[in-house]
Amino acid sequence: MRPHDPPLVLEGRVAKGFGRGGKLLNCPTANLRDEDVGDQLDPHETGVYFGWIELNGNIYKMATSIGWNPFFKNDKKTVEAHILHEFDADFYGERVKMVLCGYIRPELDFPTMESLIEAIENDKVVSNLALDLPKYDHFKSYLK
């Protein structure tokens, strides 16, 4: 995502993923359904992005993985948003809208689960800090 590119805006319903995020990686995710994403991802680089997500009228920070998750050898490209907020309940089936503001890193195949978890934790920190910068506030307007 280059600075002059328009932001990527995605919306759809939250689907059950592989069940790894919250249980295995300490990173529960809101996964978009394939039928909602379609071919919108084709021109975009895989990797980890930061941005904003709207859920039930509220806007939250997020770190989002787009890609094949090489560590787990996925056979399909997914959108997995980790919302930087604690929720008391699941929200499968809820409609979300997200805008990606910036690119953190490419997707990588990590040598160990521990190194993957360390990278994910760093992605959360980078996302949180970046979205504290006023220059990313205007991206929220894409969610209205």
The DSSP call for residue 111 is: S
Which residues are known catalytic residues? 80
Q: For residue 110, what are its two tokens? A: 């990590």
CA angle 39, 90, 92 (to 5 degrees): 35
Confirm if 101 and 73 have CB atoms less than 8 A apart. Answer: no
